[in-house]
Chain A
Amino acid sequence: MSSERADNHIIGYGTLTAVWVALLVLTALTVWVSRHTPGIGHVWGSLAIAAAKGGLVIAFFMHMRYEGRLLRWLLFLALVTLVIFIGLTFFDVLYR
């Protein structure tokens, strides 16, 4: 299966540092958004930024960018499950 190849992929310090800096910038952005966006907007803003940060961590720190299709699908499955779990609770929270 295709995921074997990727086992010994090595990511350079340059890339790792760049991702780290990007994460820090996004964190600062979260703080900024929470102060300067009116109303409920900052919740959506923060969620979007958090998703982007999670994506970076998964792609680089967790090597998913270099993995085979099978592993990506498996991760995707886990995320979809989480979305469904959270989504279903909204049948309760939104209509209570």
Chain B
Amino acid sequence: MEPTDLTPPPAGSFWNDTGRSGITSWIFSTDHKRIGLLYFYSVFGFFLVGVLLGLLIRIELMAPGRTIMGPQAYNALFTVHGVVMVFLFIIPGFQGSFGNLVMPIQIGARDVAFPRLNLFSWWLYMAGAVIILTSLFTGGGPPDTGWTFYVPFSERTGTNVSLAVFGVFIVGFSSIITGVNFVTTIHRLRAEGMTWGRLPLFVWSLYATAWVQILATPILGITLVLIMAERILGTGLFDPSRGGDPLMYQHLFWIYSHPAVYIMILPAMGVISDIIPVFARKPIFGYRMIVFSSLAIAAAGSLVWGHHMFTSGMSDIAILVFSFLTFIVAIPSAIKVFNWVSTLYRGSISLEAPMLFALSFILLFSIGGLTGLILGAAATDIHVHDTHFVVGHFHYVIFGGSGFAFFGAMHYWLPKFYGRRYAEKPAVIAWALMFVGFNILYFSMMVLGLKGMPRRYYDYLPEFAPLNLTSTIGSWILAAGLVLLLVNLFRGLRHGERVGSNPWGGATLEWSIPTPPPTENFAEEPVVTHGPYDFRGAGIP
């Protein structure tokens, strides 16, 4: 698709039109677009940190025995990798960056319902992040418990768990606040004619996610406070010798952390549901079913946390119940996959970068989801629990799924906000490298897990060596693709070709306003007369 017009960005764009100057025009801005970019660069910065740590893990595992670090450093490394990726990148990622950037525009609003609270949420996020980073260099050094902070180890280890946990606690508040803000915004600030049935599917997914954030995150907060109470006050809540129950910790942790995986994946599904119709030039298939499945995933997905505890000594009845419920969640997830594929069917598909990321999302997420059923069935889980199979599985879901959707969103939406675009060919090459590297990296891990290689071990038996080397080489291919993606995308956003208001031919509202968007988005409040995927109604050929 060619850019439609080549005029320079209008003077009133959100880039120029602010009262403040310099850095304060960003860190004190209440404009949802500026906060969105703040969030974007923060979460993406932490993503790159996490990638670096991941590559180091892989280098250590390249060959048996000590390669570049000892066991204690390794424990710290995978813990910090997990904490950074989960709490600082992917949970706040979509809501904070693309949610803030496009959601208000997509519903025809000038901003979110509580702009200052929005800024506060970013500040809380940064404060939590700084505290987590501080925990790495103070006290007993970086935590070594794994991102799950399981008791009893997290109570006894001499590393700086208390401070790290406190940082995550603060980040949790930022997540709750964003959730409240988004629910209110979507209920109250929709433009005239923007009925619930005309909400873009990305907005619907943010709405479902926001509810999960509001309802589940407080439980994470309580759980983390209890760890601090255990460590600092020695309350004995999880200590059986004093009448406590260690499994209660796992319940509390997963009551939040399983729904948290839906905080990571639902908005990604929303992005995919917005990208696919545009690049298949067809209205989405089964709008209502996709909405329904988002809500169903959010609701049913909150009831399955026990599938992380099949080998923990939980009661057999509970294993039965949680295993059954886990299979139920597969249904709405599969509904989405069928709907995307049906949308593609007989579409006139154009394979540009955002679409390539969207298509690979479908494949990688399906692999992640189906391997999830192997873990959700109690009988098979006994064999693969805590092996590299699990590591492969969840990277397919959160990296191959959410991560690839995030890259797709970057290519799809960032040009809108910068007014310039990246070059297409390098973007496709970067995508191809990442896709190939990703599969080499994580498929090897799944096979290793099936052969019995445990996770969170810095060493392994000699028979696992060839596949580990393969996996590490895959991580380098992936990293090469990522570097190309970054250079191409960010150079393009600064110096690339200018884009018009609607470079892709989308029918949602963000494409109807100038590029880059003006400070208050709409000159006058829009009246919506067509659905989000009604290309004819939007007058797009």
Question: Do A95 and B317 touch (CB < 8 A)?
Answer: yes
Q: Are B314 and A96 in contact (CB under 8 A)?
A: yes
Q: Which of B187, B247, B248, B303 contacts A88 (CB 8 A)?
A: B303
| Cα of A89 to Cα of B322 in the assembled complex, Å | 10
Q: Which residues of B contact A78 (CB under 8 A)?
A: 214-215
The docked-state distance in angstroms from the alpha carbon of A84 to that of B219 is 13
Q: Does A85 sit within 8 A of B, measured CB to CB?
A: yes
Question: Is B215 a contact partner of A91 (Cβ separation < 8 A)?
Answer: no
Bound Cα distance from A85 to B299, whole angstroms: 12
Residues on A with C-beta less than 8 A from B188 are 1
- Tell me if A7 counts as interface (CB < 8 A to partner B): no
- Does A81 lie at the interface of the complex (its beta carbon under 8 Å from any beta carbon of B)? yes
* B window 98-136: CB within 8 A of A: none
A45 to B362 Cα, complex, angstroms: 53
Chain A hits for B318, CB < 8 A: 91-92, 95
Q: When the two chains form their complex, are residues B251 and A92 in contact, meaning their CB atoms are under 8 A apart?
A: yes
Interface residues of B in 308-324 (CB under 8 A from A): 309, 313-318, 321-322
Write the nearest CB–CB distance from B211 to chain A, whole angstroms: 8
A81-B302, A84-B303, A85-B255 as given contacts; A92 in contact with B315, CB under 8 Å:
yes
Task: Kindly state the separation between the CA atoms of A89 and B214 in the bound complex, as whole angstroms.
Answer: 20
Any A CB within 8 A of the CB of B368:
no
Contact B255 A95 (CB under 8 A): no
Q: Is the CB of A88 within 8 A of B315?
A: no
For the complex, what is the distance from the CA of A75 to the CA of B318, rounded to whole Å? 28
B306 on interface, CB distance cutoff 8 Å: yes
Instruction: Give A29 Cβ to nearest chain B Cβ, in Å.
Output: 26
Within 8 A of B (CB), among A52-96: 77-78, 81, 84-85, 88-89, 91-96
CA distance A95 to B255 in the complex (A): 19
From residue A54, how far is it (CB to closest CB) to chain B in Å?
15
Q: Which A residues lie within 8 Å of B187 (CB)?
A: 1
The interface residues of chain B lying within 8 Å CB-to-CB of A81 are 215, 302
How far, in whole Å, are A84 and B313 apart by their CA atoms in the complex? 22
Which residue on B lies nearest to A81, using beta carbons?
Answer: B215
Q: A residues within 8 A CB of B302?
A: 81, 84-85
A48 CB to closest chain B CB (Å) equals 23
Cα of A88 to Cα of B305 in the assembled complex, Å: 10
B247 with A92: CB separation less than 8 A: yes
Count contacts between A and B, CB distance < 8 Å. 41
Partner of B306, one of A84, A92, A94, A95: A92
Q: Mark B131-157, 1 if CB is under 8 A from A, else 0.
A: 000000000000000000000000000
Cβ B316 vs Cβ A95 within 8 A: yes
Least Cβ–Cβ distance between B96 and chain A, in angstroms: 23
**Complex CA–CA separation, A78 to B317 (angstroms):** 26
Which residue from chain A places its CB closest to the CB of B304 in the assembled complex?
A88
Contact A95 B315 (CB under 8 A): yes
Question: Which B-chain residue is minimally distant from A90 (CB atoms)?
Answer: B318
Residues of A within 8 A of B255 (CB): 85, 89
For the complex formed, measure the closest distance between the CB of B390 and the CB atoms of chain A, giving whole angstroms: 21
Q: How far is the CB of B240 from chain A (nearest CB, A)?
A: 12
* Alpha-carbon distance between A81 and B218 when the two chains are bound, in angstroms: 12
Given contacts A89-B251, A91-B321, contact A96 B315 (CB under 8 A): yes
Q: How far is the CA of A77 from the CA of B248 in the complex (A)?
A: 24
Q: Judge whether B321 and A88 touch: CB under 8 Å.
A: yes
Max count, chain A CB within 10 A of own CB: residue among B214, B316, B318: B318
A4, chain B: closest CB distance, angstroms: 9
B303 touches A91 (CB 8 A): no
A88 & B306 in contact (Cβ 8 Å cutoff) = yes
* Chain A residues whose CB sits within 8 angstroms of the CB of B314 once the complex forms: 92, 96
If A91-B318, A92-B306, A95-B317 touch, whether A85 touches B247 (CB-CB below 8 Å) is: no
Per-residue A-contact encoding for B238-261, CB less than 8 Å = 1, 0 else: 000000000110010001000000
Chain B residues with CB under 8 Å of A96's CB are 313-315
Q: Which of B188, B255, B315 has the most CB of A within 10 A?
A: B315
Q: In whole angstroms, what is the CA distance A96 to B317 when docked?
A: 8
CB contacts (< 8 Å) of B315 on chain A: these are 91-96
Residue of B nearest to A70 (CB): B187
List A19-41 residues whose CB lies under 8 Å from chain B. none
Contacts of A89 in B (CB 8 A): 248, 251, 255
Q: Which residues of B contact A94 (CB under 8 A)?
A: 315
Contact with A along B392-425 (1 / 0, CB 8 A): 0000000000000000000000000000000000
Question: What distance in Å separates the Cβ of B277 from its nearest Cβ neighbour in chain A?
Answer: 31
A88 cross-chain contacts in B, Cβ below 8 A: 303, 306, 321
Q: Which chain A residues lie closer than 8 Å to B303 at the CB level?
A: 84, 88
* Inter-chain contacts of B306 with A (CB < 8 A): 88, 91-92
A85→B248 CA distance, assembly (Å)? 12
Name the CB-closest residue of B to A4: B188
Complex formed: what's the CA distance from A69 to B322 in Å? Answer: 34
Residues of B within 8 A of A77 (CB): 215
- Distance in angstroms between the alpha carbons of A88 and B313 in the assembled complex: 16
Task: List the A residue with the shortest CB-CB distance to B317.
Answer: A95
Cα(A94)–Cα(B245), bound, Å: 13
Chain A residue nearest in CB terms to B256: A85
How far does the Cβ of A3 sit from chain B's closest Cβ, in whole Å?
Answer: 10
Q: Which 7 A-B pairs have the closest CB atoms?
A: A95-B315, A92-B318, A91-B318, A95-B317, A96-B315, A92-B314, A81-B215
10 sampled A-B residue pairs with Cβ under 8 A? A1-B188, A81-B302, A84-B303, A89-B255, A92-B314, A93-B315, A94-B315, A95-B316, A96-B313, A96-B315
Instruction: Beyond A77-B215, A92-B317, A94-B315, list 8 extra A-B contacts (CB 8 Å).
Output: A78-B214, A81-B215, A84-B302, A85-B302, A88-B303, A88-B321, A91-B318, A93-B315
Interface set of B (CB-CB < 8 Å, partner A):
187-188, 214-215, 219, 247-248, 251, 255, 302-303, 306, 309, 313-318, 321-322
